Structure 1
């Protein structure tokens, strides 16, 4: 409908993303975080903004840099720090809407359960503070969809979130 309306009014539009909304009703069923990983979990700080911005699919702009910096300053985040460099190797942030997002693990550290540990840790943290536990997963991101469903998140198949970019083609 949005695309048709934009076309009718001759407004340039690009569908950026369509996502499932995934919700965790009961965090008590989340698996425990391995103690070796748990000891490496911390919060992001402002010095990590550039790294997150460069790796985020929609990042690498000044606007996204400012948004990410604001998220790190004002909302919960979790990261796994490398034992030697003390730099993040995996992270998850929280948007101002309270949705978890920007889950990312550096390529060379994938397959170690870091994303699972971060989602579990952040979910427990948000739930314990009385916040809803949810996120958006892009329709084509089957790996993340599987991760969240395996952790007990569910989706309403009739609900989709869509993001559009107008007038910038």
Structure 2
């Protein structure tokens, strides 16, 4: 499932459907977050090798195929609340694409995709306040990051696929 957004000329792509993008995506995420590219590659390879719902990785492509935004879903995003899983991670939108609804579209796409994969709830940790609430995320508690810094922990239901309408 890929989703093109005609008003924005962007396409949201689950990397499990386009494995050839994993290398460029791993390099892109590494450049944004300073985590070694090999870590992203390892997670993406794990996604491709198993049929489990987690991990998952997504990119938003522009009209020329360039990565404009991306995010992942992993078991735990480096915090002490291992019981609150899976976690959205590494959400990033390139500066020229910010304030255009790209993050919201990507968040909605991921929640719909996870709902189809049978994941009922998604969590995330962040230092931001106000941003995720705009997109329907609810603050749950504070968590301690692996670096011993407090983080805000949010949750959102995944969006379940609509049941087919009954025949009349």
Same fold (TM over 0.5): yes
Distance in 1 between residues matched to 2:10 and 2:94, nearest whole Å: 19
Once residues 41 and 162 of structure 1 are traced to their aligned partners in structure 2, the CA distance between those partners, rounded to angstroms, is 29
Deviations along 1:3-24, one digit per CA (max 9) or x if unpaired, are xxxxxxxxxxxxxxxxxxxxxx
What residue number does 2:125 align with? 136
The alignment partner of 1:163 has SS state of: coil
Query: 2:10 and 2:100 mapped to 1: Cα distance?
Result: 15
Is the contact made by 2:25 and 2:59 (CA closer than 8 Å) also made in structure 1?
Answer: no
Greater helix content = 1
Find the counterpart in structure 1 of residue 39 from structure 2.
67
* TM-score relative to the length of structure 1: 0.62
- Normalising by structure 2, what TM-score? 0.62
1-side partners of 2:8 and 2:74: how far apart? 24
What's the counterpart of residue 160 of structure 1?
143
Give the structure 2 partner of residue 88 of structure 1: 67
Match of 1:115 in 2: 103
| Bigger CA radius of gyration | 1
Query: Does the C-alpha gap of structure 1 residues 53 and 71 become closer, same or farther in structure 2, counting only changes over 3 Å?
Result: same
2:133 corresponds in structure 1 to 149
Question: Secondary structure, in 3 states, of the residue corresponding to 2:115?
Answer: helix
How many residues align? The count is 121
- State the Cα distance separating 1:65 from its structure 2 match: 1.7
Q: Distance in 2 between matches of 1:46 and 1:100?
A: 20
SS at match of 1:136: strand
| Residues 133 and 113 of structure 1: CA distance in aligned 2, closer, same or farther (over 3 Å) | same
Q: 2:57 and 2:70 mapped to 1: Cα distance? A: 7
